[in-house]
Each structure stands twice: as C-alpha cells, then as structure tokens.
Structure 1
Amino acid sequence: MQVLLLKEPREEDSGPDPYVKELAAHGHRATLIPVLSFKFVSLNTLSEKLFQPDKHGGLIFTSPRAVEAVKMCLEAEGRGEEWRLIKDKWNAKSVYVVGKATGDLVQNLGLKPLGEDSGTADVLSRLILQREDANILPLFFPCGSIKREVLPTALRENGVPLETLTVYQTAEHPDLQQNLSQYFTQQGTPSSIAFFSPSGVKFCLETVRQLSGKRLTQIKFAAIGPTTADAMTTEGLCVSCSAEKPTAAHLAAAIAKVLP
C-alpha cells in the first residue's frame, strides 16, 4: 500500500528515514514530502545562554529543531572544547525533552535527557512539575515561533520559573504544494496519509482535499500523537489511527492495523 508521510526528512548523514524503513518492514511503500521550512534566529543570544548554566535551573527541548539550533551555535563558534566542560554543569541539573527523536539529539550533545517517553508537552509539563518547584532558577526553553502554550502555561500557573527564547521560525515549505500535486499526479491517491504536526495539517489539508476529491473518504488518516490528532479532528478529518508513542515503530504498527 502507498503511504504518504507529511514530515521533515532526517539529516542527510543520519541514514534512511526510520518511518520509511518501518513501513517497508510492514509491506508498505512510503513517500516523504517535507511540509515545513525553518529559519534560525537569535543564535547569538542562544549561545550566551548555553554558556551560562549557573543562571538557569535546567533545560527544556520540545523539538529536534531547537537542539539543531544549539548544535549550530557550538559548531559556528568553535566552542566544542569549552562545551565539554560546560555540559557537565547542565547535566548536574535537569535536561527535559519531548520524545525519543529529540532525546537522541540531546544525547549527541553530551547531555542526559529526561522525559523521552513523554509524547506531548502536556505530559512533559506534568513530569517537570513533579520534580521542580518555585524555588529553582528559571528553566531555559529554546523553542519555535509557533510553539503551543501548554507547557509554559502549566509551569507559570504552578509557579515554576521559565525563560523562553525563540530560536527558529516555522513556515510552509516553498515546494509543498508543487510536491503534493506531483505526488498525486504520478502515484495517485495514497491508501494512508500521516500527519506529524498541527502545522502540517494547517499547510497541507486543503490541497490534499482538492487533489483526492471523492477519494478522500477512502484514505486512512494517521497522526503521530494526540496533539496532531486533535488538529485533524478540528478540521473535520476522521483519524483512523494514532501512534501510541511518537516513534517510527509505533506509527508504522498503527498504520499497519488499519490498512487491509
């Protein structure tokens, strides 16, 4: 069966995309179309914060892109040796993450992530509230321009100090509409379409509706997690399945159950 993945590809040096690989293991042929483009901002300020661990109570990462911003800072300024000393001070505090993909990237920076099993910011906020209180220094949260306010609101309402910094801006991928049109023209309507973010739903859904026409109801729509599923439902889509955890294996297993 044909499966369309509306997500970002892995970095070129990190091997085949795990979602494509897992779906192939279930006998499905997956095609990946990038939905978003990113522009990194405030990297000078981010770099300053990274080398001031004594001013913060810990770190929070809810997206791979935020970790990528950190990596860019360290590589651009050639401060790898200095980072090897500073990272131990961060590791003496708490480094919170949402999901295994973000956790793996955080580990590559030499940091020890907490919360890899949390699939959403809501779940992660509950973990943070179990471990932290109002007496800590502000947690530092580098994030994107269209982050959800679930985590900041939960921490603020419970008195846990938080400092956010927007380190990347999110926009629709410039080739998205063309790539979608080309896919439907060449391969037809897929058996399943997987969304990976509310932004993906926002940028793709109208085009998918137009291209699939009357065949829209035959498509099994999949979500990477509850936040994305909620965005799909809000737009009137029937969500056929949702991954139990935001991993390639869990999403592929969910899709395999709903495809004949």
Structure 2
Amino acid sequence: MHVLLLKEPRDGDSGPDPYIKELASHGHKATLIPVLSFKFVSLNTLTDKLFQPEKHGGLIFTSPRAVEAVKMCLEAEERREEWNSSVKDKWNTKSIYVVGKATAALVRSLGLNPLGEDTGTAEVLSRVIIEREDTNIPPFFFPCGSIKREVLPTALRDNGVPLETLTVYQTAEHPDLEKNLKNYFTEQGIPASVAFFSPSGVKFCLEVVRRLSGEQLTQIKFAAIGPTTQDAMTAEGLCVSCAAQKPTAEHLAAAIAKALQ
C-alpha cells in the first residue's frame, strides 16, 4: 500500500531514507515530501558561545538542525583546529544532553559525548536533566529553532536549573509543499496512510491533505511519530490511527503496518 511521509529527508545520508526502507520491509511503498525549510541565524553569537565553555554548565540539543548550526560555525579552518585541540574537551567535562539518535550521531561527529539519546522527547529529557543536575551551576546553553516548544525551558526553570537559549534557525513552510502534495495525489492517488512528524507539519499540510482527499479522508490511516505530534493532530480534529512507541523508523513502520492490516 502507499504511505505518504510528511518529513524532511535525512541530511547527508546516502542511500534510502530509513523510514522508506522500514516500510518497504513491511511491503508498503512510501514516498517522502519535505514539509519545512530552514534558515540559519545568529551564527556569530553562536560561535562566541561555543568558544566560551567556561561560561556554561553544559549543552542541550533537541534537534539535528541545531547541531548543523554548530557545524557551520566550525567551518573555518582555524576555528576547527581550536575546537579540536582544546574547546571540545572542555565541553566534554560537562554534560551534553540530546534528544534522539539522529541528534546524538551528529553531536558525536563534533567530538562531543552526548547523554540522553534514548529519551525520545523533550519532556523525558528535562526530567533526566533535573534529576542529574545541580541548580548552582552556570546556565546550560540551548541552541534551538524559532518554533521550539516551551516544555524543556519551562521544566528546567521551574526546577531552578539555569538555562540560556539562542534561536539559531528559523522554520518556515517548504516553498514547494503544496505543489508536491498535488503532484503526489494526482500521480499516486489517495494514500492508505499519511504520517506526520511534527506539529508544524500538521499546521502546514493538513488543510491541503484534507482538500486533496475530499470524501476519502476518512479512509486514510493517520500516523504520528510521537505524542506531541499526535496531540497536534487530535487538536485539529483528526482521527489518529497509530503512533510510534518510540520516534524511530522501526517503531513507526511497525505501527503503520499494524494499522493497515
């Protein structure tokens, strides 16, 4: 059956997207349509912060995009050398927290040692940080996107863990989103399942999907990558058929395959 994945392709990943591969192993043909486009901002400020580890209690990354912004700050030869020779080791004496395996892998590629990759959500990660960390430390540094949810900052502040945030990328609707969706529905017809990967994906795509599906909307099995996305779908009055137990390709593919049986 046809499954529509409303998500970005994995960055710099050669070979097929893991979600497409996992769904194929269940006998389903998945297509990926990118929903978001990203613009990096405040990179000079970010560079300054990265090279002053002594002013922070540690680092927090909740998205691969935030780590990409860091990589951009290290592109200059002399910056990279300074980072590799001393700066990254200073950060590694502190806690570096991440959500999810993709973010953790990118953090490792910077020479840093991530904690919390199995947490899966910002809620769970914030609990881990609160349990582990002291309140009388310099603030954690949290580079993030323009539409981050306030769950983690609020939880840390409520528990006295100091935090400093910096917006390093802005999220907008992908310029070709509507055109790509129309082409998909014209060529492939109504998909058996549609998977959402973020609340912003729901915000940008749902109206178009509703319009293109018409009366057949109720036949589609809608899937969510996790609880936050599921909440956003439910808030829009969508019937969610399944959600991944963990935000991985394996778990989502298994959930969709079961829903389509």
**Which interval holds the TM-score relative to the shorter structure?**
over 0.9
Match of 1:62 in 2: 62
Q: After superposition, where does 1:161-180 map in structure 2 within 5 Å?
A: 161-180=162-181
CA pair 158-42 structure 1, distance change in 2 beyond 3 A: same
Normalized against structure 2, the TM-score is what? 0.97
Runs of 4+ in structure 1 over 4 Å off: none
Cα separation, partners in 2 of 1:238 and 1:86, compared to 1, 3 Å: same
Paired with 2:213 and 2:134, the residues of 1 have a C-alpha distance of 50
Q: Is the 8 A contact 1:10 1:16 kept in 2?
A: no
Partner amino acid for 1:103?
A
Aligned length: 260
Q: Which amino acid aligns with 1:75?
A: E
Answering whether residue 72 of structure 2 is matched by residue 82 of structure 1, we say no
The one-letter code of the counterpart of 2:28 is H
Partner of 1:141: 142
Q: Paired residue for 1:45?
A: 45
2-structure distance, mates of 1:109, 1:29: 35
In structure 2, the partner of 1:232 is 233
Task: Give CA-to-partner distance per residue, 1:16-65, whole Å, 9 cap, x none.
Answer: 21111111111111100000000000001101111111100000000110
Which residue is equivalent to 1:33? 33
What's the offset of the Cα at 1:230?
0.4
CA-based RMSD of the aligned residues comes to 1.0
**Are the aligned partners of 1:4 and 1:194 in contact in 2 as well (CA < 8 Å)?**
yes
Q: Secondary structure at the match of 2:241?
A: strand
| Equivalent position of 1:113 in the other structure | 114
User: How many Å separate the matches in 1 of 2:192 and 2:150?
Assistant: 34
Residues in 1 aligned to 2:219 and 2:77: alpha-carbon distance in whole angstroms: 51
1:75 CA drift (Å):
1.2
Write the distance in 1 (CA, Å) between the matches of 2:177 and 2:41.
Answer: 23
Post-superposition shift, 1:208?
Answer: 0.3
Where in structure 1 are there 5+ consecutive unaligned residues?
none
Q: Residue 27 of structure 2 aligns to which amino acid in structure 1?
A: G
Change in CA separation of 1:69 and 1:175 when aligned onto 2, cut-off 3 Å: same
Q: Which moved more, 1:195-204 or 1:23-32?
A: 23-32
Deviation at 1:15, TM superposition (A): 2.9
Percent identity over the alignment is 81
Q: For residues 183-204 of structure 1, give each alpha carbon's deviation from its aligned partner in whole angstroms, at most 9, with x where no partner exists.
A: 0000001001000000000000
CA displacement at 1:150 relative to structure 2: 0.5
Q: For the structure 1 residues 158 and 51, does the alpha-carbon distance in structure 2 shift closer, same or farther, using more than 3 Å as the test?
A: same
- Give the superposition deviation at 1:11: 2.0
1:132 equivalent to 2:133? Answer yes
Task: Please list the CA deviations of residues 113-163 of structure 1 after superposition, one character each: whole Å capped at 9, or x if unmatched.
Answer: 111111111111000000112111100000000100000001111111000
Query: Secondary structure in 2 aligned to 1:113?
Result: coil
The one-letter code matched in structure 2 to 1:70 is V
- What letter matches 1:178 in structure 2? K
In structure 2, what is the Cα distance between the partners aligned to 1:214 and 1:106?
A: 45
8 Å contact kept, 1:69–1:167: yes
Q: Can you list the C-alpha shifts for 1:69-120, whole angstroms capped at 9, x where unaligned? A: 0111111465222111211111111110111111111111111111111111
Whole-Å Cα distance in 2 between the matches of residues 240 and 193 of structure 1? 10
Q: After superposition, what is the alpha-carbon deviation per residue over 1:162-192, rounded to whole angstroms, capped at 9, x for unaligned?
A: 0000000000000000000110000001001
